[in-house]
Amino acid sequence: MKFDSTTDLSSSIYKDTLTIRKTVFVQEQKVDESLEIDDLEDQALHIVGYDNNQACCTARLIEKENGLIKIQRVAVLKEFRNKGIGLLLLREIERLARETFEASKLLLDSQDHAIPFYEKSGFTVYGDGFLDANIPHHHMEKTL
């Protein structure tokens, strides 16, 4: 597994992240594309994981304030799920958060079905649940 990241919206890495996100969120989960591709794209560090040179997972990181990083758009293509790739992606996110942003805390909004996945990596739920794109979510955090 190899990871690449970019802030360049004209790069092949960014094109790979969009392909994965459109497949998982727009096609599989029926999220409106106008909600998926938003005005924060150019503020994010986009991460893509490659398995044998095939893009298979993605996420984006946005620095909210000094030391506070928001993880968004975490997705693994269906044929790569349940193989530990999501956990490898989270480890890479943590590495980048520490090294690139000197982060002290990670935040994310998890779809409710994915909460146990994030809890395995040390994230905890806080606050009330909410709907995002008509999908139940909860806020989660992890102190680094």
pLDDT tens for the chain, 144 residues long, are: 999 999 999 999 999 999 999 999 999 999 988 888 999 999 999 999 999 999 999 999 999 988 899 999 999 999 999 999 999 999 999 999 999 999 999 999 999 999 999 999 999 999 999 999 889 999 999 999
Sheet architecture: strand order including 68-76: 2-6, 45-51, 54-65, 68-76, 105-111, 135-143, 124-132
pTM of the model: 0.94
pLDDT value, residue 22: 96
pLDDT value, residue 34: 85
pLDDT value, residue 72: 97
pLDDT value, residue 67: 87
pLDDT value, residue 125: 98
For residue 6, how many C-alpha atoms fall within 13 Å in the half-sphere facing its CB?
15
Query: How many domains, the chain?
Result: 1
For the record, the structure tokens of 63 come out as 């620095």
pLDDT in tens, 70-111: 999 999 999 999 999 999 999 999 999 999 999 999 999 999
Residues 6+ apart with CB under 8 A from 125: 110, 115, 119, 138, 139, 140
DSSP 133: T
Which CATH number covers residue 19? 3.40.630.30
pLDDT value, residue 33: 87
In residues, how long is the chain? 144
User: Which residues span the domain enclosing 38?
Assistant: 2-143
